[in-house]
Structure 1
Amino acid sequence: MEMNRRSMLSGLAVTGILPRVAWAKADGYPARDPEIIVGFSAGGAGDLAARVVAKYAQSSRGVPATLDFRPGAGGTIASDQVARGAKDGSMLALFSVSPFMVAPHIQDVAYDPETAFTYIAAFAGISIPLFVRSDSPYENWDQLLDYARANSGKLRWATAAPRGLAHIATEAALRQEGVEATFVPFGGGAEAVTALLGGHIDAVVASGYGPYLEAGSVRLLIETGPDPITEQPDLPTFKSRGYPLAIPAAYGLVGPAGLPPEIVAWWEDLILEMTKAPEYGDFLTSLHGHVLYQSSADFTQNVLQGYRSIGEQIDQLGLRP
């Protein structure tokens, strides 16, 4: 009887007879509306990523998910908050690579990424290329490497965050190529790009390249992840060059460990559906990202494998405190 009732309710929701909020509650979402913790300041890429999910939950299911911005400590404050949250789906967090896969190796955090979270789904791929000024003498990645080998320590480069994924992956690649370069730390990607455009450094590895590429201010040389960049599919990648780390950077949704399977399934279904919606395409255009969907099982496997691989590289590079 209950199965028939659920089938009937779902059918009515599709035809628009039943209010969307009733459809959502009938599908098992808890009484308390969800909150999505974002470990970054409002207005950035993390805001865009969390907001597209929250808006789709409201428009497609009638569930008003709210955003709570808790920047600081490289996103680990937000991660710790959700790790200690109720296991009923009322508190989730935006996933990004560094606080879950990098930070636990190099700073004290109150959570274990292998046991403290339910990795619900990944929903957007992010490109993190290495780029130079458009008037740089380096036309491609190999030219930059040739210069760096011939001029040990003179190549100056930066990332959006010291000891983040981009930093560690690029250090590993340079070491494999026999290159000694000078890493210049900055507090954020905007500062690093400003230094690049001002001629103070030679290259930047960051995701916020889009507006500068559109303006013709920068030239991309290589993508640090495994997947080609949408705008320049022929650009080499760290994977194609066989470098030690080519971890796909992504945004996703996580909850505390032990999240009920029906809550995980609810979000998996919503996020998969969202990746086919027009607003998702608009979001990817703004982000300069690429289509990605990983179920909880695939997402969990990829996060844990990446976490362990990054730890191995941190040890080999001598970056662990």
Structure 2
Amino acid sequence: MSAVMILVTVLGASAQAGYPERAVTYIIAFNPGGQSDVEARRQQPYLEKTLGVSVQVQYKVGGGGSVGWAELAHARPDGYTIAGINMPHIVLQPLQRGDAGYETDQLRPVAWFQNTPIGLAVLRSSPFQTLEDVIAYAKENPGALTVGGSGTFSGHHLATTQLEKLAGIHVTYVPFTGAAPQVAAFLGGHVAAAMGNSDDLVQHRDRIRVLAIGSEQRFEALPDVPTFRELGFEMTPSIDRGVAVPAGTPDEVVRTLEEAFLEIVRTPEVRRQMVEQGFAPLEMGADEAQAYVDRRKQEYMELLRNLGQL
């Protein structure tokens, strides 16, 4: 190896060993006040303490998250730009849209730290008392029922499409730029129903009626709500949240970030807050997180083929 190559290698290793040395930008691809933002803000002080630098949350909203993830995919792979990511969004969007602006393999997951089951809900004032009522109405009035969700080719969109296919119905899916505007529109009566995140369903349970939930078993915070499976529909819709860096980011940098995020999710107070708010904590490091993405991509491709969407 030449002296120049040795010098470059040493300098590169030294730079990585000193990571981070300046502020880290944490991209959130959805509106302020939504679940991704809530979690990033919860993590922010812990990250700053662990990493020893400022962590600046930056919003890049649009395209159901694709605007922010496209920016991450094309950012310099040095660990100074990270982004919150969502499953199934980061898999479905590149599969379904030619203009997503990124490919799944351009995002390197650092960790998955949270799971959020998706449920179908209506307002307390709605005439629909059960999921069966909704399905009966949708069969008699194809396309008349509006169902709000966050983004297109997202967890909410997929859940709505699955239910349509399994129940033999057609509804009108109404996408919003994030969970915060989705919930506001739903509570304001601008859509008849919503595919909502479990924390929103828990937070607003006094004003809404949750008809079914996408957890494997009854969800602890909503014990009286049946699962879709209980009601005869083989679907368990949910959204996983994590964090990623651009592909090509050095392993040493990924490990530093991985340790920081896993330390947060292991913190008893953080876990307590998550559960109380209607989230399920996850603890999945970088290698496991990547294997999870690869596995889910194959599952979603098969599901989309079965739904006639691929």
Q: Assess same fold via TM > 0.5.
A: yes
Deviations 1:76-96 (A, max 9, x none): 122122222233322211112
Given the alignment, which residue of 34, 39, 48 partners 1:58?
48
Offset of 1:74 from its aligned partner? 2.0
Measured after TM superposition, the shift of residue 160 of structure 1 is: 2.8
Structure 1 residues 160, 91: CA separation in 2 closer, same or farther (over 3 Å shift)? closer
After TM superposition, list the pairs within 5 Å mapping 1:294-309 onto structure 2.
Answer: 294-309=284-299
For the Cα contact (< 8 Å) 1:155–1:182, is it kept in 2?
A: yes
Q: Where does residue 31 of structure 1 map in the other structure? A: 21
My pick for the range that moved more, 292-301 or 189-198, is 189-198
Equivalent in the alignment of 1:41:
31
The answer to whether the Cα contact below 8 Å between 2:111 and 2:242 also exists between their aligned partners in 1 is: yes
Q: Which secondary structure state, in structure 1, belongs to the residue aligned with residue 21 of structure 2?
A: coil
Matched, 1:78 2:51: no
1:267-278 correspondence to structure 2 within 5 Å: 267-278=257-268
Please report how far the alpha carbon of residue 73 of structure 1 lies from its aligned counterpart in structure 2 after TM superposition. 2.1
- List aligned pairs for 1:121-140, cutoff 5 A: 121-140=111-130
User: Letter of the aligned partner of 2:161 in structure 1?
Assistant: E
Q: Residue 243 and residue 194 in structure 1: after superposition, are their counterparts in 2 closer, same or farther (change >3 A)?
A: same
CA distance in 1, matches of 2:294, 2:35: 24
Q: Does 1:112 align with 2:103?
A: yes
1:289 aligns with 2:282: no
TM-score normalized by the length of structure 1 = 0.76
Aligned partners of 2:61, 2:300: CA distance in 1, in Å? 23
**Pair 1:185–1:41, CA change in 2 (3 A):** closer
Partner of 1:182: 171
Q: 1:193 to 1:47 in 2, by over 3 A?
A: closer
Say whether the 8 Å CA contact 1:40–1:75 is kept in structure 2: yes
The whole-number CA distance in structure 2 between the counterparts of 1:227 and 1:263 is 37
Q: Identify, as 1 or 2, the structure richer in strand.
A: 2
Q: Which residue of 1 aligns with 2:201?
A: 209
CA contact (8 A) 1:160 1:186 kept: yes
Distance 1:219 1:104 in 2: 34
Q: Deviation at 1:255?
A: 0.7
Given that residues 245 and 310 in structure 1 are in contact (C-alpha distance below 8 angstroms), is that contact kept between their aligned partners in structure 2? no
Is the Cα–Cα contact under 8 Å of residues 45 and 287 in structure 1 kept in the other structure?
no
Q: Quote the residue 2:11 is aligned against.
A: none
Report how far residue 286 of structure 1 moved: 7.5
Structure 2: tracts of 5 or more residues without a match: 1-14
1:231 alignment counterpart: 221
Q: Distance in 2 between matches of 1:117 and 1:35?
A: 16
2:150 equivalent to 1:164: no
Residue 42 of structure 1 and its aligned partner are, at CA, apart by 2.9
Closer, same or farther in 2 for the Cα pair 1:125/1:86, shift >3 Å? same
Instruction: Tell me the distance in 2 between the aligned counterparts of 1:268 and 1:121.
Output: 6
Distance across 2 between alignment mates of 1:159 and 1:83: 25
Amino acid across the alignment from 2:102: Y
3-state secondary structure, aligned to 2:174 = coil
SS in 2 for 1:54: helix
* Offset at residue 167 of structure 1 (A): 1.8
TM norm structure 2: 0.79
Q: Give 1:104 shift.
A: 1.1
Asked whether the equivalents of residues 79 and 99 of structure 1 are also in contact (C-alpha less than 8 Å), the reply is no
Gaps of 5+ in 1: 1-24
| TM-superposed deviation, 1:217 | 0.8
2:17, 2:76 → 1: CA distance? 19
Task: Please tell me the residue identity of whatever aligns with 2:241.
Answer: Y
Are residues 293 and 128 of structure 1, via their aligned partners in 2, closer, same or farther at CA, if it must alter by over 3 Å?
A: same
Aligned-residue offset at 1:295: 1.6
In the alignment, the residues of structure 1 paired with residue 41 and residue 184 of structure 2 have an alpha-carbon distance, to the nearest angstrom, of: 27
SS of the equivalent of 1:79 reads helix
**Aligned partner letter, 1:112:** E
User: 1:224 Cα shift?
Assistant: 3.0
Structure 1 residue 100: Cα displacement: 0.8
Identity of aligned residues (%): 25
